[in-house]
Amino acid sequence: MPNRQLTSDELEKARVLLAEIRNKLAGLSQGDSELLFAYRRKIYKELGYDERSKPMKRRALKDQKWKEQRGLCAICKKEMPARYTVPDRLNAVDGYTPENTRLIHQECDVSQQESRGYA
Ligand SMILES: [Zn+2]
């Protein structure tokens, strides 16, 4: 399922919000570029977790899916290494839940992204 796209009105609201966030970060850091860097990284990391889950939760899900799939890639059905695998969401907005996620090779992920026109 393709991800929802923002309408032009929603895109404008996102631009306004981003400008507000940048202004607040500038206010918090008061010209201290290292502090601005640290605040920006913290916000970036936490927003990433909102979409992708925290590392420990992702690790646990990958281990669970690896066992459920008996170490076989959900796309090519060949054996996968224990690491360097990719949790693939069936519907991105539904997040990394056991029901919405399958484990695949990194190479199969890249091929899939290319065939969908994402890469
Ligand atoms: Zn594969």
Residue 102 CA to ligand 1 centre (angstroms): 11
CB under 8 Å to 6, separation ≥6 — which residues?
A: 14
Residue 32 CA to ligand 1 centre (angstroms): 46
Per-residue pLDDT reduced to its tens digit, 63-92: 999 999 999 999 999 999 988 899 999 998
Residue 95 CA to ligand 1 centre (angstroms): 21
pLDDT for 116 beyond 90: no
Confidence of residue 113 (pLDDT cuts 50, 70, 90): confident
Separation of alpha carbons 111 and 47, rounded Å:
27
